Amino acid sequence: MKKRIAVFASGFGSNLQALIDYNNKYGLNGDIVLVFSNNKDAFALVRAKKNNIKAVFMDPTRYSSREKYDSKIIEMLEEEKIDLVVLAGYMLLLSQEFVHRFKNKILNIHPALLPSFKGT
């Protein structure tokens, strides 16, 4: 059975597009079923919609704490039955609760060596 994949992105979504293109050409052992962003202006959300992928924005400033924000995200991912979370330019740190809940199910795409070049 194919994995249900959620991609988290905060900006332009070039890594998301690379994943979509690869999947369209070669196929993945999964389907990108959700793109999530903490930035309402993220072009990644537009890319998702253009490819018939559910696009979700949640504003972290509308929650009283990061834990409550991440709990709401976890709830959404569980409703969508997500098997793998891909961080593709997601610019927020994940809470301990989130990392624990998706232990061994998170893949971070980062353009530089961490922690030496974080934020690049």
Segment 38-60, tens digit of pLDDT: 999 999 999 999 999 999 999 99
- Domain presence at residue 10: yes
Work out how many domains the chain is built from and give that number. Answer: 1
What is the Cα–Cα distance from 12 to 39, expressed in whole angstroms?
10
Catalytic residues: 110
- Domain presence at residue 117: no
For residue 28, the domain's CATH number is 3.40.50.170
Mean pLDDT of 68-95: 96
Task: Answer yes or no: pTM beyond 0.85.
Answer: yes
For β-strands 54-57 and 106-109, DSSP reports them as unpaired
Predicted confidence band of residue 117 (pLDDT cuts 50, 70, 90): low
